[in-house]
Amino acid sequence: MPAPEPARPRRQPPDVRREQLLDAAEQVLLSRGLGSATVADVAQAAGLAKGTVYLYFRSKNEILAALRARYLDRFAGAVDEGEASVERFIAALYDFSTLHRDLHHLLFHEAGFSEDDAFVAVHQALEELIVAGVEAGTFDVSDARLTAGFILHGLHGLLVASLHDPAADRAAFIASATGLARRVLGAKPSTMKSPPKQRRPRGRSSAG
């Protein structure tokens, strides 16, 4: 028989406890569905009393808002890791979207949260990548902000279609999307990667 899981410590720092509750909430919402999941279910999944949940979140809607904020922060963080090149940027966007497709659908479609600010930090990351390429002579772009928006909205449309296609192929998607993006950027065919950029401090969207 497998060894029993160790009991969760009764006392945890507030930030750790909050993350535990959000982890439990994500698990419950994805398994039971938005309409069926309750605060009591979250408490049970976290191994805590229902009253403990209310010390951190006043309602189910507040839990959803906190999950949305965490999703956006992690989304921006994942794309940050891929900023060294256009290809890595697109790969990070694809991988995060694929890994969290069910959570994204729950938060932004079932729960009805707006997607208006979902790509704010990602747009900024791509814009900075483009600016660095222009300054290095790698890209030929007159308006980095407009170009970043054009590429990002195009990628979003392609991703939505890919996530609903059982035959979608990661490598093919990344290669094709990278080729299209590089044409928009005016990159030379022989230039495979954009130059490293200096990271600029910026705040991430954390609405919710």
Distances (CA, A) of 194 to 92, 170, 184: 16, 21, 14
The structural domains of the chain, with segments of one domain joined by +, span: 9-58, 68-197
pLDDT surpasses 70 at 203: no
pLDDT surpasses 60 at 206: no
pTM for this prediction:
0.72
pLDDT surpasses 60 at 44: yes
pLDDT of residue 190: 53
* Highest CATH level, class, for 68-197: mainly alpha
Q: Which residues contact 173 (CB under 8 A, 6 or more apart)?
A: 94, 158, 162
The answer to which of 44-58, 109-123, 130-144, 163-177 has the lowest mean pLDDT is 109-123
Report pLDDT digits (tens) over 90-130.
999 999 989 998 998 898 888 877 777 777 888 888 999 99
Q: Which residues contact 123 (CB under 8 A, 6 or more apart)?
A: 148, 149, 152
Q: Which CATH superfamily, name and number, covers 9-58?
A: Homeodomain-like (1.10.10.60)
pLDDT of residue 18: 94
pLDDT surpasses 70 at 191: no
pLDDT surpasses 50 at 194: no
Q: How confident is the model at residue 55 (pLDDT cuts 50, 70, 90)?
A: very high
Report pLDDT digits (tens) over 4-42.
544 454 577 888 999 999 999 999 999 999 999 999 999
Instruction: Find the DSSP H helices in the chain.
Output: 14-32, 39-46, 50-56, 60-80, 86-99, 101-105, 120-135, 144-163, 170-184
pLDDT of residue 140: 95
pLDDT of residue 172: 95
Q: Residue 24 and residue 29: Cα distance in Å, rounded?
A: 9
